[in-house]
Structure 1
Amino acid sequence: MIATQFNATVKEVKTDNEGEFISTSMQDFFKAYIINRLPSQTLEEKSFYEAFFGEDAMYVLSLAAQHNWFVHQLDIYNAFLQGDLHDDVYMQLPEGFHTQGESGLVCELVKSLYGLKQASRQWNLKLSEALLESDFVQSSLDHSLFIKRKGSDMVVILVYVDDMLVTGSNLRLIEHTKAILHKAFKIKDLGELKFFWGMEFSRSVKGILMNQMKYALKIISDLGLGNAKPAWTPLEANIKLTIQELDCLTGELDDELSKDKEQYQRLIGKMLYLTMTRLDIFYSIQTFSQFLHQPKRSHWEVAVRVMKYIKREPGLGILLSSKRVNKLNVYCDADWAACPNTRRLVSGFLAKHGETLLSWKSKKQNVVSRSSAKAEYKSMTNAISELV
């Protein structure tokens, strides 16, 4: 404890509608209580998160499926408490720690705490340091990817905050890696990959199947679509979704604005996460995302229709094939002047490694293309940029 001038405001903790603190355990209570004693930090102290589930992760899991590698999952206990602080950060004393007659005392933090802007970055530095000392090599393009080679064998680690996937060709090398991490941190070995980051994984001789059935069914239940009739397609043929300004110009005023804008925004956010394994709704979601600020009643109805389509096959996902085909294929296309509001083109592409999907995207471009040929070249440019 040191004496200092401390006039910063205090952050709020999460409460329910009655103002009571939301907690699932006493450990959560003390974590949040400590956060409540931290001062609000400035915008210059940016948060840092190391997320991995992109093309690199899909490629690593594709290799694991093709070469029949072991894939294990690890969890770090209290990860953000592991980082060392190099900045001067102070915290107000918790109630009951004040000594009679003393005032103006604060705690100078040596270790990071939950709620600090620096906590995630300091944890990542601590983890990277431990792995690099164990002869792992960190990817210069994806800092969440670590690789270690030993003879003809190798082990790969993918990091997402405090969760890790460990895969490789040698089980002993994987167990040795776990021992190294357990020596440096308190870890929980979750065994073979089954459920990670909201996605379910199942393995067979055909490969590794990824799906989000549990997540999809929860959205369907929240919308009250349990008894609804499933739809055969995400969108109706030739449907054109417009903004309110265009409706005013064309004289079509029957479609009123949604009364609950936040409800629409929450649904689109949930559906956007579904595109991690459901590329068949990616075009629909990128279209819905254009109306987040002023959604209309028709926008909500077509968004619900997409969930009815998901209901028909909620367990549909992506198969990371076990067939060894070391070939990269890319497909792209463009729809010139597809957007009725701006007349901009919508391009899309998907990339496959062998028979496994690695990456896909559908996006409305920022500028108007003057010809359909230019739109096609723009689509190819985006696809090649993804490969590079």
Structure 2
Amino acid sequence: MAKSIRILLAITAWYDYEIWQMDVKTAFLNGFVEEEIFMDQLEGFTTVGEEQKVCRLQRSIYGLKQASRSWNTHFDEVIRGYNFIKNDYDACLYKKISGGSVAYLVLYVDDILLIGNDVKILGEIKAWLSTQFSMKDMGEASYIIGIKIYRDRSRRLLGLTQSSYIEKVLKRFNMEHSIRGLLPMRHGIKLSKKQSPKTDEKLKRMSNIPYASAVGSIQYAVQCTRPDVAYALSFN
């Protein structure tokens, strides 16, 4: 997903395409349930004299394990009906070509990016989407999957930053007051098993440090906007 978005944003910058964003309101409620699923009557909406009865779901609701897939399946059927073609390598990327007009649509859960070279066509797509789902028009895209988009159309430049995401990661792992360095990693550092905790006290303290979670959080930044810290991350 992140790779596809970076590629599309590079195309957008090079050809000076439009890039708009929309949000699907209560997206998971649009999916249909294929299985038989029952739920208790909601408190305050119980039918008097029929308290023992349950409700059978016909539409997906938040909290179901299959809610996200039901929504994605329904969206795929709807968007294909508007002559969009799904990408073979990224199931969340769609393309539509009409004459000299090209439009790309990227779906990430309930966030939609619309990219293309024809303002009229993109406007028609937005209007059509609003007839299919309850949508919120976010205007020109400025933030997607934790990445902030900076753009200078006069120079055909487009930049990406995850400064807000990185600050949240630092606060999560109590490192917001750490001193910033000029390099991702100091020269001459050597790690070995001999440095592993040996005493019960140190082992207990290390067991409370979410090391894997911290590495995973940094890995997301590496994949999106910070490949410069890839070596330092893999070294650890």
- Tell me whether the two structures share a fold, i.e. TM-score over 0.5: yes
Post-superposition CA distance 1:327-369 (Å, at most 9, x none): xxxxxxxxxxxxxxxxxxxxxxxxxxxxxxxxxxxxxxxxxxx
Call closer, same or farther: CA 1:216–1:98 in 2, change over 3 Å.
closer
Q: Which moved more, 1:194-203 or 1:91-100?
A: 91-100
Tell me the residue number matched to 1:240: 190
Note if 1:53 corresponds to 2:2: yes
Call closer, same or farther: CA 1:176–1:215 in 2, change over 3 Å.
same
Tell me the residue number matched to 1:158: 106
Q: Alignment partner for residue 120 of structure 1, among 68, 84, 90?
A: 68
* Structure 1 position 102, deviation (Å): 4.2
Tell me the residue number matched to 2:117: 169
Matched letter for residue 232 of structure 1: L
Tell me the residue number matched to 1:270: 217
Note if 1:178 corresponds to 2:126: yes
Q: How many residues align?
A: 230
Identity %: 28
Tell me the residue number matched to 2:180: 230
Q: Which moved more, 1:92-101 or 1:138-147?
A: 92-101
Tell me the residue number matched to 1:376: none
- 2:167·2:176 contact (CA, 8 Å) conserved in 1? no
Call closer, same or farther: CA 1:103–1:271 in 2, change over 3 Å.
same
Q: Alignment partner for residue 211 of structure 1, among 161, 171, 176?
A: 161
SS in 2 for 1:209: strand
Call closer, same or farther: CA 1:128–1:253 in 2, change over 3 Å.
closer
Equivalence map 1:1-80=2 (5 Å): 52-54=1-3, 56-80=4-28
Structure 2 residue runs of 5 or longer lacking an equivalent are none
* Structure 1 position 253, deviation (Å): 5.5
- 2:14·2:156 contact (CA, 8 Å) conserved in 1? no
CA–CA separation in structure 2 for the residues paired with 1:141 and 1:101: 54
Call closer, same or farther: CA 1:103–1:65 in 2, change over 3 Å.
same
Larger Rg: 1
Call closer, same or farther: CA 1:283–1:257 in 2, change over 3 Å.
farther
* Structure 1 position 281, deviation (Å): 1.0
SS in 1 for 2:128: helix
Q: Which moved more, 1:137-146 or 1:106-115?
A: 137-146
Structure 1 residue runs of 5 or longer lacking an equivalent are 1-51, 289-388
Post-superposition CA distance 1:268-313 (Å, at most 9, x none): 333222212111111222333xxxxxxxxxxxxxxxxxxxxxxxxx
* Structure 1 position 233, deviation (Å): 2.0
Compare the two structures and name the one with the higher helix fraction. Answer: 2
Tell me the residue number matched to 1:323: none
* Structure 1 position 247, deviation (Å): 5.6
CA–CA separation in structure 1 for the residues paired with 2:116 and 2:28: 27
Give the superposed CA RMSD.
2.4
TM-score by length of 2: 0.87
Matched letter for residue 105 of structure 2: I
Tell me the residue number matched to 1:90: 38
Which of structures 1 and 2 has the larger relative contact order (alpha carbons within 8 angstroms, sep 6+)? 2
CA–CA separation in structure 2 for the residues paired with 1:94 and 1:53: 39
Matched letter for residue 53 of structure 2: L
SS in 2 for 1:61: helix
Tell me the residue number matched to 1:130: 78
SS in 1 for 2:106: strand
* Structure 1 position 133, deviation (Å): 1.0
Post-superposition CA distance 1:190-214 (Å, at most 9, x none): 0111111111101011421001112
CA–CA separation in structure 2 for the residues paired with 1:116 and 1:105: 20
* Structure 1 position 109, deviation (Å): 0.2
TM-score by length of 1: 0.55
Equivalence map 1:334-373=2 (5 Å): none
Equivalence map 1:183-198=2 (5 Å): 183-198=131-146
